[in-house]
């Protein structure tokens, strides 16, 4: 069996203060040496294999930005597209309560595990 090719992943949400840090923390727990950027840079499109967004607004914005990058190698997707429970959007828990953060955490665990299984 061939050794899996390492993947680099960037998680993105509106403020990068709730959902994407949770997703990244879950992902870091499952694998090491990942990076979280406060803002997506032009270099990120050429550096990362995947940019995983939390909602459709992030996806739309990043797809628009990627069209301006000559050497874009990143596959831009919704992290929720990997959710075995088909919860496509990872809702922002910022204005919610503690249980909303737990919901985001559980969804990120499911999605990251499924992503890693697919990436093997």
Based on the residue annotation, tell me whether 83 is a catalytic residue of this protein: no
Q: How many other CB atoms are found less than 10 A from the CB of residue 64?
A: 9
Based on the residue annotation, tell me whether 38 is a catalytic residue of this protein: no
Secondary structure (3-state) at 69? coil
Of 13, 72, 108, 112, the catalytic one is 13
Of 115, 98, 117, 118, nearest in space to 53 by CA: 115
Of 67, 55, 75, nearest in space to 10 by CA: 75
Of 18, 19, 44, 55, the catalytic one is 19
Of 28, 49, 61, 92, the catalytic one is 92
Based on the residue annotation, tell me whether 13 is a catalytic residue of this protein: yes
Q: Which helix (H) or strand (E) holds 119?
A: helix 98-119
Rounded CA-CA distance 115/112 in Å is: 5
Q: So which residues are the catalytic ones?
A: 13, 19, 92
């Amino acid at each position: 069996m061939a050794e899996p090719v390492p993947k680099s992943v960037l998680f993105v949400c509106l403020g990068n203060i709730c959902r994407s840090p949770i997703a990244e923390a879950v992902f870091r727990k499952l694998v090491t040496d990942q990076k979280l950027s406060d803002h997506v840079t032009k270099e990120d499109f050429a550096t990362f294999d995947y940019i995983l967004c939390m909602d459709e607004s992030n996806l739309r914005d990043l797809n628009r930005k990627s069209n301006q990058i000559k050497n874009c190698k990143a596959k831009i997707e919704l992290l929720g597209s990997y959710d075995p429970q088909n919860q496509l959007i990872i809702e922002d828990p910022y204005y919610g309560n503690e249980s909303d953060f737990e919901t985001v955490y559980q969804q990120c665990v499911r999605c990251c595990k499924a992503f890693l299984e697919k990436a093997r």
